[in-house]
Amino acid sequence: MQLIVCGLGGAGSRIADTVAAADERGSRSAVVDTVALDTDQGSLADLETIPEDNRHLYGTLTGSGRGFDGHRNRGQEAADEELTELFRAVDDLATSRGDAFLLCTSLAGGTGATLLPTLAAELREVYGVPIYGVGVLPETERTETTDQQRRAANAGKAVDPVLEATDALFVFDNALWTKTAESAAEPEVRTRLNETLATRLIALFEAGEADRSGRVAESVVDASEVINTLSEGRIVALGYATQEIERPTESRFGLGLFTKEVDLDETTAIKAIETTVRRAVNGKLTVDVDRGAVERGLLVTGGPPEWLNRRAIADARSWLAQETGSVEIRGGDIPTPDTDEILALVVLAGIGDCQRLAELRAAAENE
């Protein structure tokens, strides 16, 4: 599936930048073009992958190019005043080649979360393709400062307008992924979190694409499969797991020299697929959700073609359907001959709500 990736605000632009970098490194490509729209000149300058011509500063009359420090009212005012120019910045991209827009933002800030609904509405008037959102939730602290309380309230105010504006919202909870005594504001931590999110997004959207040598999956996840899974504008959680594998070999002369690959035992492949899929589903998701609230799902498995056992993958899909209670579990594979690992990506979609978002809405009401 081919994407137009838009970074909105500082955090959203960094996420878009990381997604673009991950796409460039991969054996497949799902990113057609990228753009960053922000009110902080310094944050735009720090981006590494999005071309400089595609980085756009706005809100300078009220923010002086230094951002709005989480003030939603100022962010909304700037978005409304400069919407025409911001839309043009996106419209100037190679939009005709995109199957969907991916709008990335932090829900806790004052820039991206206020721009996203406004920009999405304008894009929907012109383009007949899905608009997906990526929304990052703030971390939590035992003793919250005034700034942290405001960020939580901001996220609570932002989530419903963003959900209404998008066809689906990929939620990533920083509170779930930061370790004790860490802060998502620390550059190293922030980079790790963004790469964690980007890895999962790229695995999903590259699944239906041919690799750079032209090879296509046996069971393709085409754009329509993704669109059908992500329909109805609700929350999406992603699960992901990998497992290293050891390709079976034998020595030609029994001396441990001149080894060659031999046929893979089917039981070994089945066990590897089963284990990896269960870890993806039962492990840490991008946001904690009730598996029973899932209406639709998508299972993507990847690895060397000989390890992608058809029976094991079919059984894994059936198991996922039982775990979620959903009758709409789609699937596909990513054959990668030169890798030494199995991967499983699980998309849990159509989720109406989750505890974390309810807590943030409560924070907004109590502000």
Got the DSSP string for 218-240? SS---HHHHHHHTTTSEEEEEEE
Count how many Cα atoms sit within 13 Å of the Cα of residue 112 in the half-sphere of its side chain.
33
Query: Is 112 annotated in some ligand binding site?
Result: yes
Determine contact, residues 22/207, Cβ cutoff 8 Å: no
Read off the tokens for 309. Answer: 């056992």
- If DSSP codes are grouped into helix, strand and coil, which group holds residue 208? coil
Q: Can you name the residues that pair with 133 across neighbouring β-strands?
A: 103, 169
The packing angle between helices 112-126 and 72-81, to 10°, is: 30
Query: Is 154 annotated in some ligand binding site?
Result: no
Query: Which residues 6+ apart lie within 8 Å of 194 measured at CB?
Result: 14, 15, 18
Query: Which residues 6+ apart lie within 8 Å of 9 measured at CB?
Result: 37, 38, 39, 75, 105, 106, 109, 110, 111, 112, 113, 115
Residue among 292, 302, 192 nearest 237 (CA) = 292
d(CA 27, CA 326) in angstroms, rounded, equals 32
pLDDT of the residue at 258: 45
Read off the tokens for 322. Answer: 């039982």
Q: Is the pLDDT of residue 252 over 70?
A: no
Query: Is 110 annotated in some ligand binding site?
Result: yes
Q: Is the pLDDT of residue 300 over 90?
A: yes
**What mean pLDDT is predicted for residues 216-231?**
81
Domains along the sequence of the chain with CATH = 3-206 (3.40.50.1440), 236-351 (3.30.1330.20)
Determine contact, residues 86/62, Cβ cutoff 8 Å: no
Query: Is 194 annotated in some ligand binding site?
Result: yes
Residue 94 or residue 256, greater confidence: 94
> Phi and psi of 228, rounded to 5°?
-65, -35
Among 59-63, 122-126, 191-195, 300-304, the range scoring the smallest mean pLDDT is: 59-63
Determine contact, residues 104/15, Cβ cutoff 8 Å: yes
The packing angle between helices 9-25 and 187-205, to 10°, is: 60
Q: Is the pLDDT of residue 255 over 90?
A: no
pLDDT of the residue at 337: 85
Tens digit of each residue's pLDDT (9 = 90 or more) over 16-32: 999 999 999 988 899 99
Residue among 138, 134, 99 nearest 16 (CA) = 134
Residue among 37, 191, 195 nearest 101 (CA) = 37
d(CA 86, CA 281) in angstroms, rounded, equals 38
pTM of the model: 0.93
**Chain centroid to CA 252:** 46
> Phi and psi of 40, rounded to 5°?
-115, 110
Among 74-78, 118-122, 330-334, the range scoring the smallest mean pLDDT is: 330-334
Residue 24: burial class (beta carbons within 10 Å; 0-12, 13-18, 19+)? exposed
Query: Is 239 annotated in some ligand binding site?
Result: no
DSSP 159-194: HHHHHHHSSEEEEEEHHHHSPTT--TTSHHHHHHHH
- Amino acid identity of residue 350, one-letter, is G
